């Protein structure tokens, strides 16, 4: 009986990094939902005043906002389901936001804090994915 319990516990501990990766993906899914809904709120006018209305923004800002409004929600679905395509779409959003902030500061303001947060999330994902991959036999 004790051997059976210890075997079950070991089996559960074998995938600890995979479980942590899935938890991280779910947290990122929730964050992506919030970000996607925020971008939709900007498009529909639920946030900001009349001067900050969607129609009064430059075309580049409008295009970027619509892009993130769609892709963040698509990424959220894939992340929640822990699918490979979800991680790819999420990585696309992370890299896209960092590139827009660094290379096109006129669109969203060029915040280095946003770039640092995106880089930290990317590093956390890569570390967790690497550790989870090491758990699985070749």
State pLDDT tens for residues 11-49: 556 789 999 999 999 999 999 999 999 999 999 999 888
Cβ atoms < 10 Å from Cβ of 11: 9
User: How does residue 10 score in pLDDT terms, banded at 50, 70 and 90?
Assistant: very low
Smallest Cα–Cα separation from 19: which of 85, 92, 11? Answer: 11
> CA–CA distance from 92 to each of 36, 53, 68, 122 (Å)?
14, 27, 10, 11
Residue spans of the domains in the chain: they are 25-135
pLDDT single digits (tens) 56-84: 999 999 999 999 999 999 999 999 999 99
- pTM score, whole prediction: 0.85
Which H or E run includes 126? helix 112-135
Task: Report residue 102 as tokens.
Answer: 């660094």
């Amino acid at each position: 009986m004790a051997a059976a319990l210890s075997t079950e516990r070991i089996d559960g501990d074998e995938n600890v990094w995979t479980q942590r990766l899935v938890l991280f993906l779910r947290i990122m899914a929730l964050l992506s939902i919030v970000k996607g809904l925020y971008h939709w709120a900007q498009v529909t006018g639920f946030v900001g005043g009349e001067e900050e209305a969607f129609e009064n923004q430059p075309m580049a800002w409008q295009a970027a906002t619509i892009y993130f409004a769609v892709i963040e929600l698509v990424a959220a679905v894939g992340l929640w389901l822990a699918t490979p395509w979800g991680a790819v779409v999420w990585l696309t959003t992370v890299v896209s936001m960092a590139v827009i902030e660094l290379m096109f500061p006129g669109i969203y303001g060029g915040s280095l804090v946003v770039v640092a947060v995106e880089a930290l999330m990317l590093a956390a994902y890569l570390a967790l994915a690497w550790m989870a991959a090491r758990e699985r036999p070749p």
